[in-house]
Chains A and B, each alone.
Chain A
Amino acid sequence: MRAVDAIMECLKAEGVDVVFGLPGGANLPTYDAFVDGGIRHVLVRHEAGGGHAAEGYAKATGKVGVAFATSGPGATNVVTPIVDAMMDSVPTVFITGQVRTDLIGTDGFQETDTLGITMPVVKHSFQIRDPREIPRAIHEAFYLARSGRPGPVVVDIPQDLSRADIDYEPVCDLHLPGYQPTTDGNAKQIRQAAKAMASARRPVIYAGGGVVNANAAQELTEFATADRFPVTCTLMGLGAFPAPHPQWLGMLGMHGTRAANYAMDEADLICCIGARFDDRITGKLSEFAPNAKFIHIDVDPAEISKNVPAHIPIVGDARNVLKKLVKEYRALDAVDGSRMDEWWSRIEAWREKHPLRYDDSSDGEIKPQYMVQALYEATGGEAIVCSDVGQHQMWAAQYYHFDKPRRWINSGGLGTMGFGLPAAMGAQVGCPDATVVCISGDGSIQMNLQELATCSQNEIPVKIFIMNNGYLGMVRQWQELFWDNRYSHVDMGSFPDFVKVADAYGATGLRLTEKSTLVDDMKAALATPGPVMVDVRVTREENTYPMISPGQPARDMVG
């Protein structure tokens, strides 16, 4: 069998139903195999679009996303999605073509050291040196991508090796002696954690993307409601706990709610599950949660005590650990039910005094925050929302209330502008019956706008809502707040005309400028078949608040 046909067999064995990619010289043989391979391939317009689409697919479905690219520029174009997937722990496999083995090292046409370039930013990578290694490498790649802490795996296949004739046999045994993720969680530590939670007077559960990755949202809710534990989630964890819930504090971190950040600041015990104490969460590290002890549950031992020393470290999969933790907690007797009364009245006071707020316009002007609220209403809160990066991302996180996991798909760790549209495309391919919305900015959307052609050609009906303020809004906000209003290269003008662009790409383009009809207009856009791009004109200069100024402690939030 041709090695490339074996690749198709491997993908099918791994349950792959779609690949996002773009062919080129070095992966021509592989693309020939797609003709009869029985696997859907979505032809993207730029390999970065393919990589982000694979991420969006993975985040929406929980399955491994797959992207193909050719050698050289094809491979370098997927570097950003690879890093993005690494930072946000997205299970993805990238299969790149490489020049013929006799050309490797000669600066051949479209040759690049893909393995070398991607090495710092992958969970693992394989460069094929013998065609018989291909099936095993692909299966190991999928196993590595989805197990433990998920992440991107690269398989780089030289063109001549992919043309080889090999004996293909399904691979059942994987040989990864250096890879044994701990997933169970130490029983003694879990019991200790349960006891600590039972005696804490000011506890907070701080949950992150690890809960979503482990499909542990239900277990998280069970644990939180086994008592009256207040819950906050990171940007990556939104949806892991149902947003409209009495124990929900809102998102924490730089643009989180005051209730969440103040609760962290005054907590005596913080139970971190699948999060990593990123600098956007902690603010000034030396003044972070000064009175708290920490339980840290993570499948990646390297995260535990990396930034904040854990008192009770638990290495394990969030779902496994939470199940046991609930059991242990319920088995405890004589837990004082009233010990958190004071804590809750303090939290209630913060909530009441500092709700998320903005000054709405008195005329027809659309405030960006209102735009998100309108979208929430128009979609009934039931959409998969993919976001780009910037102010719109933060407002979406604040005002679109996610009550289920895998509904909020964004680029958190890397903060990749241009992520939103291709990710939405991937999410829609993975969930064809869902309403998939992309909230973007006029800056971000232009970074992978070409994928609108992919959506039109493949009838992928994503609905794009551009929060258009004519600025690189978040940078403008920082220049206003921290650099004395000296705006430097943030004004984007009103280019391009997004309605015309949508039309040119074969999609429907709309422009909305009136607040009073916004919800209905959005509903109409959502009901329009096929891809739709909506240019929503919002207040030009609006700041995202509240905010922990970088390097400052949470208690000094502004706005």
Chain B
Amino acid sequence: MGEPATKELLSLADLEATTNLRTGRKHVLSILVENKPAVLTRVAGLFARRGFNIDTLTVGPTEDEHLSRITLTLDGALHPIDQVTKQLHKLINVLKIRDLEPGDTVSRELALFKVAAEGSQRAEVMQICEIFRGKVVDVTRRSVILEITGTTEKVEAFERMVRPFGLIEMMRTGEIAISRGRGET
């Protein structure tokens, strides 16, 4: 028997208020998994059915061919991070989970921006790119493609800078992160 045992109408505003709490406390989880079929589906599916929102997710091989690493970011205040990691640990193919501390972590993402850049604008766009230590990877008469690597904050700052010129397309990989020092992530 489902809830609620009341026939009172629920207002849409109340419903939304209970589901749209974001506080911006970002967590970066580094998850070491067995490189087996459907592992990513299991991880992503767990997040979906437990109602945890993934902000970014990247997955790739590691130094050990039997293992893959999933790096994902989520709003930690929205979901008890403890519950997220415990549920992840229940997946049989998950070997290790680290909730990375920003101070002890080097994190990067890569982004490609296709920006409208005609005539005199082009020089200005390229100058901004240089300041952000980005690369121009393609040029046509009417646009440029720029490659930026860095923290999420840097990528977002760059986006704000080039958007006024006419941002045609943007693609981002999502963050990968590695812990500082000699120890394993």
Interface residues of B in 28-47 (CB under 8 A from A): 33-34, 37-38, 41-42, 45-46
A144-B92, A306-B83 as given contacts; A116 in contact with B4, CB under 8 Å: no
Q: Are A550 and B4 in contact (CB under 8 A)?
A: yes
Q: Looking at the complex, which one of B5, B7, B45 makes contact with A549 (CB distance below 8 Å)?
A: B5
Nearest-Cβ distance from residue B89 to partner chain A, whole angstroms: 7
Q: Does B1 contact A (CB under 8 A)?
A: yes
Add 15 more A-B contacts to A176-B92, A474-B1, A551-B4 (CB < 8 A): A119-B41, A119-B42, A120-B46, A127-B38, A129-B37, A177-B95, A300-B90, A302-B89, A306-B83, A475-B1, A478-B1, A478-B5, A484-B7, A551-B3, A551-B5
Q: Does A487 contact B (CB under 8 A)?
A: no
Q: Please measure, in the bound complex, the distance between the C-alpha atom of A300 and the C-alpha atom of B90, giving whole angstroms.
A: 8
Interface residues of A in 250-287 (CB under 8 A from B): 279
Most A Cβ at <10 Å: residue of B1, B6, B46, B49: B1
Q: Please measure, in the bound complex, the distance between the C-alpha atom of A279 and the C-alpha atom of B49, giving whole angstroms.
A: 18
Q: Does A447 contact B (CB under 8 A)?
A: no
Q: Please measure, in the bound complex, the distance between the C-alpha atom of A306 and the C-alpha atom of B42, giving whole angstroms.
A: 21
Q: Please measure, in the bound complex, the distance between the C-alpha atom of A327 and the C-alpha atom of B82, giving whole angstroms.
A: 31
Residues of A within 8 A of B46 (CB): 120
Which 10 residue pairs spanning A and B have beta carbons closest together?
A: A302-B86, A482-B5, A550-B5, A124-B92, A178-B95, A179-B92, A120-B49, A178-B94, A550-B3, A302-B87
Interface size on B, residues (CB 8 A): 26
11 contacts between A and B (CB under 8 A): A116-B41, A119-B41, A179-B92, A301-B89, A302-B83, A302-B90, A415-B1, A482-B5, A482-B6, A483-B7, A551-B5
Residues of A within 8 A of B68 (CB): none
- Output the nearest chain A residue to B41 by Cβ-Cβ distance: A119
Residues of A within 8 A of B157 (CB): none
Q: Does B91 contact A (CB under 8 A)?
A: yes
Q: Are B38 and A482 in contact (CB under 8 A)?
A: no
B residues contacting A by CB (< 8 A) are 1, 3-7, 33-34, 37-38, 41-42, 45-46, 49, 82-83, 86-87, 89-95
Residues of B within 8 A of A279 (CB): 3
Nearest-Cβ distance from residue B68 to partner chain A, whole angstroms: 12
Q: Does A539 contact B (CB under 8 A)?
A: no
Q: Please measure, in the bound complex, the distance between the C-alpha atom of A437 and the C-alpha atom of B34, giving whole angstroms.
A: 45
Residues of B within 8 A of A550 (CB): 1, 3-5
- Output the nearest chain A residue to B94 by Cβ-Cβ distance: A178
Chain A 384-402 against B: per-residue CB contact (8 Å), 1 yes, 0 no? 0000000000000000000
Interface residues of A in 91-129 (CB under 8 A from B): 115-116, 119-120, 123-124, 127, 129
Q: Does A481 contact B (CB under 8 A)?
A: yes
Q: Please measure, in the bound complex, the distance between the C-alpha atom of A474 and the C-alpha atom of B83, giving whole angstroms.
A: 33
Q: Looking at the complex, which one of B4, B7, B91 makes contact with A178 (CB distance below 8 Å)?
A: B91
Residues of B within 8 A of A116 (CB): 41
Residues of A within 8 A of B7 (CB): 482-484
Residues of B within 8 A of A144 (CB): 92
- Output the nearest chain B residue to A176 by Cβ-Cβ distance: B92
Q: Does A305 contact B (CB under 8 A)?
A: yes
Residues of A within 8 A of B38 (CB): 115, 119, 127
Residues of A within 8 A of B41 (CB): 116, 119
Interface residues of A in 44-76 (CB under 8 A from B): none
A residues contacting B by CB (< 8 A) are 115-116, 119-120, 123-124, 127, 129, 144, 176-179, 279, 300-302, 305-306, 415, 474-475, 478, 481-484, 549-551
Residues of B within 8 A of A305 (CB): 82-83
Residues of A within 8 A of B5 (CB): 478, 481-482, 549-551
Q: Please measure, in the bound complex, the distance between the C-alpha atom of A483 and the C-alpha atom of B5, giving whole angstroms.
A: 8
Q: Please measure, in the bound complex, the distance between the C-alpha atom of A119 and the C-alpha atom of B41, giving whole angstroms.
A: 9
Q: Please measure, in the bound complex, the distance between the C-alpha atom of A244 and the C-alpha atom of B4, giving whole angstroms.
A: 35
Q: Please measure, in the bound complex, the distance between the C-alpha atom of A387 and the C-alpha atom of B38, giving whole angstroms.
A: 37
Q: Please measure, in the bound complex, the distance between the C-alpha atom of A474 and the C-alpha atom of B5, giving whole angstroms.
A: 12
Q: Please measure, in the bound complex, the distance between the C-alpha atom of A322 and the C-alpha atom of B124, giving whole angstroms.
A: 72
- Output the nearest chain B residue to A304 by Cβ-Cβ distance: B86
Q: Please measure, in the bound complex, the distance between the C-alpha atom of A129 and the C-alpha atom of B37, giving whole angstroms.
A: 10
Residues of B within 8 A of A415 (CB): 1
Nearest-Cβ distance from residue B66 to partner chain A, whole angstroms: 9
Q: Please measure, in the bound complex, the distance between the C-alpha atom of A551 and the C-alpha atom of B87, giving whole angstroms.
A: 26
Q: Please measure, in the bound complex, the distance between the C-alpha atom of A481 and the C-alpha atom of B6, giving whole angstroms.
A: 9
Residues of A within 8 A of B86 (CB): 301-302, 306
Q: Please measure, in the bound complex, the distance between the C-alpha atom of A551 and the C-alpha atom of B2, giving whole angstroms.
A: 11
Residues of B within 8 A of A127 (CB): 37-38
Q: Please measure, in the bound complex, the distance between the C-alpha atom of A494 and the C-alpha atom of B49, giving whole angstroms.
A: 40
Q: Are B34 and A178 in contact (CB under 8 A)?
A: yes
Residues of B within 8 A of A179 (CB): 92
Q: Please measure, in the bound complex, the distance between the C-alpha atom of A124 and the C-alpha atom of B94, giving whole angstroms.
A: 12
Nearest-Cβ distance from residue B177 to partner chain A, whole angstroms: 21
Residues of B within 8 A of A484 (CB): 7
Q: Please measure, in the bound complex, the distance between the C-alpha atom of A436 and the C-alpha atom of B1, giving whole angstroms.
A: 27
Residues of A within 8 A of B42 (CB): 119
Residues of A within 8 A of B3 (CB): 279, 550-551
Q: Are A119 and B45 in contact (CB under 8 A)?
A: yes
Nearest-Cβ distance from residue B111 to partner chain A, whole angstroms: 32
Q: Please measure, in the bound complex, the distance between the C-alpha atom of A474 and the C-alpha atom of B82, giving whole angstroms.
A: 37
- Output the nearest chain A residue to B92 by Cβ-Cβ distance: A124
Residues of A within 8 A of B91 (CB): 178
Nearest-Cβ distance from residue B95 to partner chain A, whole angstroms: 5
- Output the nearest chain B residue to A140 by Cβ-Cβ distance: B92
Nearest-Cβ distance from residue A133 to partner chain B, whole angstroms: 11
Residues of B within 8 A of A124 (CB): 92
Residues of A within 8 A of B6 (CB): 482, 551
Residues of B within 8 A of A115 (CB): 38
Residues of B within 8 A of A483 (CB): 7
Nearest-Cβ distance from residue A398 to partner chain B, whole angstroms: 17
Q: Please measure, in the bound complex, the distance between the C-alpha atom of A475 and the C-alpha atom of B33, giving whole angstroms.
A: 45
Q: Please measure, in the bound complex, the distance between the C-alpha atom of A481 and the C-alpha atom of B46, giving whole angstroms.
A: 37
- Output the nearest chain B residue to A115 by Cβ-Cβ distance: B38
Residues of B within 8 A of A482 (CB): 5-7
Q: Please measure, in the bound complex, the distance between the C-alpha atom of A176 and the C-alpha atom of B6, giving whole angstroms.
A: 47
Nearest-Cβ distance from residue B51 to partner chain A, whole angstroms: 12
- Output the nearest chain A residue to B49 by Cβ-Cβ distance: A120
Q: Please measure, in the bound complex, the distance between the C-alpha atom of A80 and the C-alpha atom of B92, giving whole angstroms.
A: 22
A120-B45, A302-B87, A551-B3 as given contacts; A178 in contact with B37, CB under 8 Å: no
